[in-house]
């Protein structure tokens, strides 16, 4: 069975407001019958995976290290890459669209790689570096824009 994957990229540190948004985005992805791919660690990654899994969706974490046990507890399929930040390109390539929620320099690199790869990038409270980032004000708008952009 093939499943469309939406990439969730964002802040890896704990931020209550961003995590709330990420959890709602994840739940909407799971409810839509889609899969979620992210970096498998904490912050936005964990919150989005928790929301997706609780809504019945599949979660995949592309981990920077070599130990699958490093994944947060809501990742169904942990994939240890041993690639550090270079795994960011794998997340971008695996996803049909990306939703950026907040974020630091790692998120910035994923946004840039997504734009360079002609992937739709939807942003909520994230870097404003390009007119090609599709801005969303709410989790539901972000998921709706992602689905429209990939025609699901």
CATH for 5-150, options being 3.30.413.10, 3.30.930.10, 3.40.50.2300, 3.40.50.450: 3.40.50.450
CA distance linking residue 101 with residue 136, whole number of Å: 10
Q: Is the pTM of this model over 0.85?
A: yes
3 state SS of 68: helix
* 152 pLDDT more than 90: no
CA distance linking residue 102 with residue 123, whole number of Å: 8
CA distance linking residue 54 with residue 48, whole number of Å: 10
> Residue 151: pLDDT band by 50, 70, 90 thresholds?
confident
Query: Do the beta carbons of residue 50 and residue 23 sit within 8 Å?
Result: yes
């Amino acid at each position: 069975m093939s499943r469309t994957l939406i990439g969730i990229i964002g802040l890896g540190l704990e931020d209550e407001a961003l995590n709330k948004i990420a959890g709602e985005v994840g739940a909407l992805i799971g409810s839509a019958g889609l899969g979620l791919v992210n970096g498998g660690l904490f912050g936005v990654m964990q919150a989005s995976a928790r929301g997706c899994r609780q809504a019945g969706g599949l979660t995949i974490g592309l981990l920077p290290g070599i130990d699958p046990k490093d994944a947060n507890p809501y990742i169904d399929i942990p994939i240890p890459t041993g690639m550090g930040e270079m795994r960011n390109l794998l997340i971008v390539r695996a996803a049909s669209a990306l939703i950026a929620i907040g974020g630091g320099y790692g998120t910035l690199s994923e946004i840039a790689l997504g734009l360079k790869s002609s992937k739709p990038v939807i942003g909520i409270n994230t870097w404003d570096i390009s007119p090609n980032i599709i801005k969303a004000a709410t989790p539901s708008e972000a998921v709706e824009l992602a689905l429209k952009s990939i025609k699901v």
